[in-house]
Amino acid sequence: MGKQEDIIQAFAEKLKAVYMQKGISMQDLELSDADKTRLENILKGEYDNVDVLFLVRIADSLGVPPYSLLK
């Protein structure tokens, strides 16, 4: 894996942990159907078609400052 993929995977793992901790349902998030599908893939540990912009949208919909997940 390259450096960019490593960053995306680390960001996605932190985002997954926040999602699970908050216990929010997929329907409660203000996301498009495509974004919900990508989030489902992240929850399964699949990171294909995931980019930083998508992760920022998910973090925003969870009410988490995206920069806090990059630490």
Q: Which one of 1.20.58, 1.10.1070, 1.10.260, 3.30.450 gives the CATH number of domain 3-69?
A: 1.10.260
Query: Which segment of 3-7, 10-14, 17-21, 43-47 scores lowest on mean pLDDT?
Result: 3-7
pLDDT in tens, 17-68: 999 999 988 888 888 999 899 899 999 999 888 888 889 988 998 899 988 8
| Other Cβ atoms closer than 10 A to 8 | 19
CB 13 within 8 A of CB 6: no
Q: In the chain, how long is the greatest CA-to-CA distance?
A: 34
**What are the sequence ranges of the domains in the chain?**
3-69
CA geometry: angle at 10 spanning 26 and 2, to 5°? Answer: 125
pLDDT at 1 over 70: no
Chain-centre distance of CA 62, in angstroms? 9
